[in-house]
Chain A
Amino acid sequence: MSPSSLRRPMMMTALVTALLAAFATAGCDEIRFREGGGLTQAPVMQTDALRVLVTPRGLESLYRTSSPAGFGLDNEPLWIDDATRRLRFGPLEQDLAIERWAVTPLGEAMIASLVLIKPTIYVPVRVQDNISVQICRFAVTMDAVDIRATINVATTSEGVTLGGASHTEVEISGVKTRPIGPCVPLDGERWTLEESLDDLLLEYVEEGLTHSANAAFRDSPLDTLGLIRRRVELSRVSAFENRRGNILVIGQMAATDPIGLSSRGLEAGLDMAISQRRAGCAPAVGLDAPNVGATAPIPVALLEQFTADVGLAIATPLLERTAQAATSAGFICRGLEDPRPADENREVIPGDSLRLEDIGLAHVPIGPWARLLTSPGSLPRLKTRPDRNDILLSWENLTVDLYAEVYGVLVRIVSITTSVELGLRPRADLPGLIGFDVDTVEVQNVQLSSPWLADAPDDNDRNRWARRLLFLALDGQFSLPLPLDPGTPLRVVGSQVRADDLVLMLRFTP
């Protein structure tokens, strides 16, 4: 079995998940993916909207991750005839543990190497004469195997691959061969070939190692990283029809400098387009986020500072367009969708945390649990603020409704509508995703309404309570799943907000 076939399934749409779940607050069970999707208008591509840099160290990890079972040694059978018999060596089919990978940049290529320590390779030899067939087994042990090759980036119709290995060298030291059990047909007295059995075994194994190295060095790094180069449709899954919108994401290799190897590592750029079908609950306006704006190169020093393997830059206009598309497709209309009892329900918050007394609603006989509903009255604006290393997300009109049980029925207790500015700060301690803490909340023009109020609260109480409710509703809700197969051991170790993009720094973990 070749190493490539041992790789775990890659999540082709992972980056799409990342982009669209960003600012969408939706769980994975609330998004349905579909390759393709119906497109009624030609997409407007945003050039160089995504950029990825995989450092040489990252490429080593990429190879390691892609080959969880190790080095897949295989070789076709080798037939050798002597005067009276026919010998068949092999076939070889065996996984060998890889001690280490190494990648060294070499201009627009790289030298990749892997080292196997003390591998033992088992070679079956079938001996057939006119009378009978016998099978012997031999063990070929080595102190070390060092395989190295020059690797280039190849772009084919199937995608981008690292491969095209040339100048493959296999260096073997400390070779020994021994039969496993008695092998009468091949003992010294009966051996008639000029070349020794040991030499034939070693040649056959060497050929297998060289042959298999090509497969070992072949990789589809963009697939591994989940970078999309096709069309994907995401549908909002909801009990409520008015929340069911769709987003179409199209990605393709950047028209200029799409992918290449350099001393910095492997760099790739992607052009992206996002369009959407509006959900009924969303504002009836079109996306107006700019469709231009590109990522800047990712400094290697920045990755080194965080000992990161991979850097991923997302252009601010793409982030804003994503936030707007997610809003328009109904991903921000959230809450009241989980019908399960409180002890299983993911939406509930404790009723005693609401401070209803602050706005004169202490007398409402609510049950122990409350739930929040958010609905946007406008599309958000998004800015990156490098001076604060945060993202400013603002809505002119955002509504949060508070529901709680009264006499066994979930009813709306109070509704606030406000203009809000959220300062979102990336955090790096969540496995599998990068979350955003709501760092700051600024509210303006707060409108509070409730049929349960005897008297309206004063403005200060109202604004303070509204701000707090927004924290409760939104904190921890913005997250960006890692653009990787969830099984891939990669996590965010840092982020940097720049003037025109957001850079995520990722590290492979053992």
Chain B
Amino acid sequence: MSHATRTPIGYGQAGRRIAAAAAAMSVLMAVGGCKVEKPLSCPPCPAGTACTASSGICEEIALEPFDDFIPGRAVRIAPEGSRIALAVIEPQTGALLVGTATPSSRAFHTLHRFGRPAGKRIALASSPRTVAVAWLDEGGVYQIATRAARGANDHWEATLIALSEQDTALEYSGSEEFDLTIDAREHVHLVFHDSRLRALRRLSRADGARRWQLETVDDASSQQSQLVCSAERRLAARLGVGIEPTVRGRGEDLYVAYHDADCGDLRLARRVDKEWVVSVVDTGDADVEAVRLHERGVVGRFPSLAFDEAGRIAVAYHDVSRGRVMYASAREGQFKREVADPGFELDEFSQQQKQLVGAFTRLVFDDSGTPRLAYMNATRTHLRGAHRLAEANGSGRWLQRTLDAQGPVGFFADQIYDASIGHIVAAERLVPTAQGLSSRLVLIWDGKQ
């Protein structure tokens, strides 16, 4: 039987006790900033309580407010009614902060403290009923914390997706390559790169259910196509598939775009009628003769998925070989690829300079159906945006502009568009100081910081 241990996480305070027996098996967890032995069989605790370290009982807790400068490390944002939900990592203390923001206010709480080294990525998702944040714990297992949408930011309920001795069906090796979504049925899906199997896998849980399901989406073994690189190359690279996955649901269907690091490709997995179908969207081999003889291109890093107003899927991603931003949109069963930003700039001496653009690419559609991209210009370390001008035939040209040029900025770019709150772009700025680099959150609301 699969087993999931649920625990709200935060700073413990004295409170009412809910009895539970501690199980023998335990994993190391960081609770309230300290590493303690956490029994795996800690019982489910009601919202606002936490299971204490050694006794296996739940106590009421409240998250500690965070009032310092808000950092921007690994920032993720999600719409939440008239406000946005945020999650960031505070790199100095290793704290995972969760927050809410409007153009005029921000409130953050410490949800979790990582051991060292601090986590590198987090994932955030929202639905009309739920806000969820996921991270990789020190033991290589994922935790997902949820709270009610539009609810208080200091009441979270966390779940450790752990393996029990009795159930090897839930055995996995988590990595920092993961993403999260909540579908229309309030089912939570966490897709990730399994570092041991080098495969893309999915953990999912139905709303209210305790049981997590684990399945392999793509282990690269079944794909037989001329587009796929050779088995020799895959064996030599041994990096696997499922890198930097991005997952989105539409109706009952689920879509995951991810990087195949062995072949240097962009892949798309679609779960339709409970079956996964994997396709290769881009191999990076277009004009490869002009690129470098006898080599495949590397594309598909930082993929980002979205659906246009007609429900057609589109993926934006980074073309590593050419240092540019790509946009692929589904048309009549095939992907049409466009260069959204080639990364060229005419300098003051009329020389065309190459900028590496496309890291941390994020795609949204606005309410007029215009695709909008946010990404990093890694040469200038600027936050950059692009959108496609509408044209009758749908093949308008792309316009790019710099969103933020103050210092190294643009890391972990994220963006959302919601008709009720507008277009919001988030990223990390690194401020050089005499003591080193200081992380800052950048939030741009409809073009204004």
A residues apposed to B, CB below 8 Å: 29-30, 32, 237-244, 280-284, 333, 336-341, 363-365, 375, 377, 401, 403, 406-407, 409-412, 451-455
Contacts and interface: CB of A to CB of B under 8 A. Distances in A.
B411 A237 contact: no
Contacts of A282: 351
14 contacts: A237-B291, A237-B292, A239-B297, A240-B354, A281-B352, A281-B354, A283-B349, A338-B292, A377-B349, A407-B412, A451-B381, A452-B408, A452-B430, A455-B434
A240 B264 CA distance: 18
A359 to B, nearest CB: 12
Nearest to B237: A341
B293 A237 contact: yes
A29 B293 contact: yes
Contact of B378 (A29, A237, A339, A410): A410
Given A407-B411, A451-B381, A337 B292 contact: yes
Nearest to B437: A363
Contacts of A237: 289-293
A242 B378 contact: no
B344 A241 contact: yes
Given A452-B408, A454-B433, A280 B352 contact: yes
Contact of B434 (A243, A283, A452, A454): A454
A280 B352 CA distance: 5
Contact of B350 (A241, A284, A336): A284
Interface of B: 120, 237, 239, 264, 289-294, 297-298, 320-323, 342, 344, 349-354, 356, 359-360, 376, 378-381, 407-408, 411-412, 430, 432-434, 436-437
Contacts of A284: 349-351
A239 B408 contact: no
Contacts of A403: 356, 378
Contacts of B322: 239-240
A242 B354 CA distance: 7
Given A29-B292, A339-B264, A341-B239, 4 more contacts: A30-B292, A243-B354, A410-B356, A410-B378
User: Which one of A336, A338, A455 has the greatest number of beta carbons of chain B within 10 Å?
Assistant: A336
Contact of B290 (A244, A453, A455): A244
A241 B342 contact: yes
B295 to A, nearest CB: 8
Nearest to A375: B353
A280 B351 contact: yes
User: Which one of B360, B379, B433, B434 has the greatest number of beta carbons of chain A within 10 Å?
Assistant: B379
A349 to B, nearest CB: 17
Contact of B380 (A32, A240, A412): A412
A371 to B, nearest CB: 11
Given A30-B292, A241-B344, A451-B408, A377 B359 contact: no
B297 A339 contact: yes
A375 B360 CA distance: 26
A375 B408 contact: no
B122 to A, nearest CB: 13
A339 B436 contact: no
User: Which one of A282, A283, A338, A454 has the greatest number of beta carbons of chain B within 10 Å?
Assistant: A454
B56 to A, nearest CB: 38
A363 B432 contact: yes
A239 B437 contact: no
Contacts of B437: 363-365, 452
B108 to A, nearest CB: 21
Contacts of A410: 356, 359, 378
- What are the 3 tightest A-B residue pairs by CB atom distance, in nearest-first order? A280-B352, A454-B432, A339-B298
Contacts of B342: 241
Nearest to B379: A412
A363 B439 CA distance: 13
B358 to A, nearest CB: 10
Given A239-B322, A339-B321, A411-B378, A452 B292 contact: no
Given A237-B293, A365-B437, A454-B434, A281 B353 contact: yes
A32 B292 CA distance: 10
Given A451-B408, A452-B432, A242 B344 contact: yes
A283 B348 CA distance: 11
A104 B411 CA distance: 73
B291 A377 contact: no
B407 A451 contact: yes
B379 A242 contact: no
A340 B342 CA distance: 20
B117 to A, nearest CB: 11
A30 B289 CA distance: 10
A365 B120 CA distance: 13
Contact of B321 (A239, A280, A281, A453): A239
A238 to B, nearest CB: 7
User: Which one of A30, A242, A409 has the greatest number of beta carbons of chain B within 10 Å?
Assistant: A409
B105 to A, nearest CB: 29
User: Which one of B264, B354, B432, B434 has the greatest number of beta carbons of chain A within 10 Å?
Assistant: B354
Nearest to B349: A377
Given A280-B344, A401-B379, A242 B350 contact: no
A453 B353 CA distance: 23
User: Which one of A339, A364, A403 has the greatest number of beta carbons of chain B within 10 Å?
Assistant: A339
Given A237-B292, A339-B297, A339-B298, A281 B351 contact: yes
Contacts of A337: 292
A409 B407 contact: no
Contacts of A412: 356, 378-381
Contact of B436 (A240, A242, A243, A363): A363
Contacts of A454: 432-434
A409 B378 contact: yes
A336 B323 contact: yes
B241 to A, nearest CB: 15
A376 to B, nearest CB: 9
A333 B237 CA distance: 29
B349 A409 contact: no
User: Which one of A239, A340, A341, A454 has the greatest number of beta carbons of chain B within 10 Å?
Assistant: A239
Contacts of B360: 409
Contacts of A401: 379
A411 B351 contact: no
A407 B120 CA distance: 8
A223 to B, nearest CB: 25
Contacts of B120: 407
Contacts of B294: 29
Nearest to A412: B379
